Amino acid sequence: MIHTVEVEVAGQLIQIETGRVAKQANGAVLVRSGDTIVLCTATMSREARTDIDFFPLVVDYEERKYSVGKIPGGFIKRGGRPSDKAVLTSRLIDRPLRPLFPSGMRNEVQVIAMPLSVDNEHLPDVLSIIAASAALTISNIPFHGPVGAVRIGKVEGEWVVNPSFDQVDNGDLDLVVAGTKDYIVMVEASASELTETEILEALDLAHQHIQPICAIQEELAAKVGTVKAEVPIYSVPEDILTRVREQFAEQVLQAIQQPDKSAREEAIELLKEEIVQAILPEYPEQETDLREAADKVVKEQVRRLILEYKVRPDGRKYDEIRPINCMVGLLPRVHGSALFTRGQTQVLTSVTLGPMEEAQIIDTLEEDGFKRYMHFYNFPPYSVGETRPLRGPGRREIGHGALAERALRPMIPREEEFPYAILLTSEVLESNGSTSMASVCGSTLALMDAGVQIKAPVAGVAMGLMTQGDEWVVLSDIQGMEDFSGDMDFKVAGTAKGITALQLDTKISGIPRPVFERALEQARQGRLFILERMLETIDKPRDHISPYAPRIIVMEIHPDKIGDVIGPGGRIIKKILADTGTRIQIEQDGRVYIAADDEESGERARKMIEDLTRDVAVGETFLGKVTRTSSLGVFVEILPGKEGLVPLSQLSEQRVRRADELVKVGDEILVKVVEIDNLGRINLSARGLHNVFSGQAASAGQPPSTGGSRPPQGGHEPSGYGRGGDVRRHRGDDDTPRARFRPKR
């Protein structure tokens, strides 16, 4: 049976339907808004896994190019690995769902969201969060939802709920919020220096529109009437947990207060092993339960230390930032570099500048084009003292890199001001919490070291949360143990003026508004402190770029002149590249980007292009090079790609029988433009210009050369003319006349 519910959100209708498709999944829905339709399914394994100690949830977002009426580019039309956008959307769906499953659940759950039709007014990522929640809510899978989601934008000072792609692209805020009817569970945002007050307003507006979305999912679940399945829920036996608490709680409390991460982790691991060995004789078949109990007691004691004793594991105050050390210019041959260290978290970021042709190609459902500012984040195993195989970037690396990229993007100078593709690469060298925010700080320092004129420096800090009943405390600059044992990871990045990026994840059912208020204020104070330490190292961007960075020259030509620069078959542009060693990119609107290893070669290329595209005027004088001689006269290249004819009568004051009596190919002579006919052919004269011809030194009695052939009568000898051939005119791809040699038969 088909069931449908719908709700209007800010004037846009959202419709959820079930019972039509994918009926063998535990739950399946179609969610529609405008012409965007998302299919989402939820399935669960019949048996719980006993070999793991975590909840095995997998969320996949499957892009299909047919949804936007496109055939995938490249050789593989079926499509390959998920795009970065697909990975980020998978994370966006996963994060609000994960904390709402029963603690201790071990049945595998898979959620697949797949846009079937996409328009540019109703973006599929937010609809996919709603669809995933709806599929779980109507299924028999245990789930403490539902979850609603909206996107909030700010365009020309006005809040916009679920803005279109163009509004997001041109606005000052792109905020995605997911939550239950009671609390916000997940936040993801990029912003143009919005204040904490503005962010709170946006969160309030988002939650108002989330509540009716949750309500229609409950209505749909009531119509379907599915009963939730009874699944095994793992929990540590209470007698074992009590036994570990009573005997070892105080020892654990002492072990977790080691300031050094490595020493603390070693002490905790040794203590866990001691716990297991001490109690195992009483519970010989329950070693796994004992290890779980030891982990649980460690988390409890971290929470107790912070909430009861008001002390953090490393002795800091709640709002205190760890010691900071900054260095720039470590890597002499890269274009910019910085080492940012905060406590035992350390990130090395490098900047690479390149021509615009090296910008990243973007080809997603929502957009296609180029991205000139990129940030890659790498998390090698040695950063946490582990050994494991190196693989390609995972979801964590892609997500952290995208967050750091969003934090700096509003500060990157426009292409017109800084015509470079910019790649930042952050290598995590040590990790003890908030490496993504350390990447933000390192990126700011590296960009300034590279001479990129960013609008303002950006810093980031991660906020944590510890709760016990109604008691709670917000922690600034959380380290790994506080993240592992706590209830929230709230990353806030921005300038001294305002916020540029947010990311919230939580392990509990939601975050109350007072927590947001406190967390944003502590984050602001922490951000200002970090910026002070950063600016002590380098207080503004350098006024020059690295000598090892390419020099980019930007010039504009008339679009009609593009063909003159490229030439027949690319002959002219290839010659410029070969002669100057530069790289040149020409846009359809006439913008020309010249990338050179040094200023001199770049200027040579610019001069050659200027000469190619300039108009020749009657009366101008040039020092040209002889390219051919014939019975008509001499052909002289006066500008790259532009030739004119000097008739025999205009070659000298004296009578000349043959041109090669005076000049040979390669000679340079002064010529003046005397005529440009209606076909654009240039007639030149060398008379009266004080030329000294190479042939004038020859013997007066030397017989003239007899080589060559007679060209067609009238006009110039065209390029490609040869003996025994005729000349046909044709047009090339750029619609400019070209000459082609065709042998006679």
- Tell me the C-alpha to C-alpha distance, in Å, between residue 691 and each of 501, 571, 671, 684: 69, 31, 9, 14
Q: With b meaning 16 or more CB within 10 Å and e meaning fewer, what string describes 173-207?
A: bbbbbbbbbebbbbbbbbbbbbebebbeebbebbb
Q: Which two tokens stand for residue 626?
A: 């002889």
Q: Work out the average pLDDT over 329-340.
A: 96
Q: How far apart are CA 739 and CA 449, in angstroms?
A: 52
The band of 80, judged by pLDDT with boundaries at 50, 70 and 90, is confident
pLDDT at 706 over 50: no
pTM (2 decimals)?
0.85
Q: Which domains does the chain have, with CATH numbers?
A: 3-224 (3.30.230.70), 238-307 (1.10.10.400), 324-537 (3.30.230.70), 551-613 (3.30.1370.10), 621-698+706-743 (2.40.50.140)
Helix (H, G, I), strand (E, B), or coil: what is residue 125?
helix
pLDDT at 702 over 60: no
What is the pLDDT, as a whole number, of residue 725? 34
Q: Work out the average pLDDT over 721-734.
A: 34
CB 16 within 8 A of CB 5: yes
- Tell me the C-alpha to C-alpha distance, in Å, between residue 339 and each of 267, 344, 350, 429, 530: 29, 13, 9, 10, 14
Lowest average pLDDT, out of 335-344, 381-390, 442-451, 723-732, goes to: 723-732
What is the pLDDT, as a whole number, of residue 690? 80
Q: How far apart are CA 108 and CA 47, in angstroms?
A: 8
HSE-up of residue 522 (Cα within 13 Å, Cβ side): 24
Q: Work out the average pLDDT over 658-675.
A: 90
Return the percentage of the chain with pLDDT > 90, whole number: 75
The band of 316, judged by pLDDT with boundaries at 50, 70 and 90, is very high
Return the percentage of the chain with pLDDT > 70, whole number: 93
- Return the higher-pLDDT residue of 514 and 614: 514
CB 97 within 8 A of CB 136: yes
Q: How far apart are CA 132 and CA 122, in angstroms?
A: 17
CA nearest to 100, candidates 53, 141, 156: 141
What is the pLDDT, as a whole number, of residue 397? 95
CB 154 within 8 A of CB 202: yes
Q: How would DSSP label each residue in 293-332?
A: HHHHHHHHHHHHHHHTS---TTS--TTPPPPEEEEE--ST
Helix (H, G, I), strand (E, B), or coil: what is residue 511?
strand
What is the pLDDT, as a whole number, of residue 136? 98
Expressed in percent and rounded to 5, the helix, strand and coil fractions of the chain are: 35, 30, 35
Lowest average pLDDT, out of 217-221, 267-271, 516-520, 706-710, goes to: 706-710
CB 199 within 8 A of CB 493: no
Lowest average pLDDT, out of 196-210, 316-330, 450-464, 659-673, goes to: 659-673
What is the pLDDT, as a whole number, of residue 93? 98
Q: Dump pLDDT digits (tens) for 137-178.
A: 999 999 999 999 999 999 999 999 999 989 998 899 999 999
CB 411 within 8 A of CB 495: yes
- Return the higher-pLDDT residue of 484 and 736: 484
If you search the block for the tokens 């930032």, which residue do you land on?
A: 321
CA nearest to 402, candidates 179, 176, 194: 176
Q: Dump pLDDT digits (tens) for 504-551.
A: 999 999 999 999 999 999 999 999 999 999 999 999 999 999 999 999
What is the pLDDT, as a whole number, of residue 74? 73
pLDDT at 464 over 90: yes
Q: How far apart are CA 491 and CA 477, in angstroms?
A: 9
Cβ neighbourhood burial of 49 (10 Å; 0-12, 13-18, 19+): middle
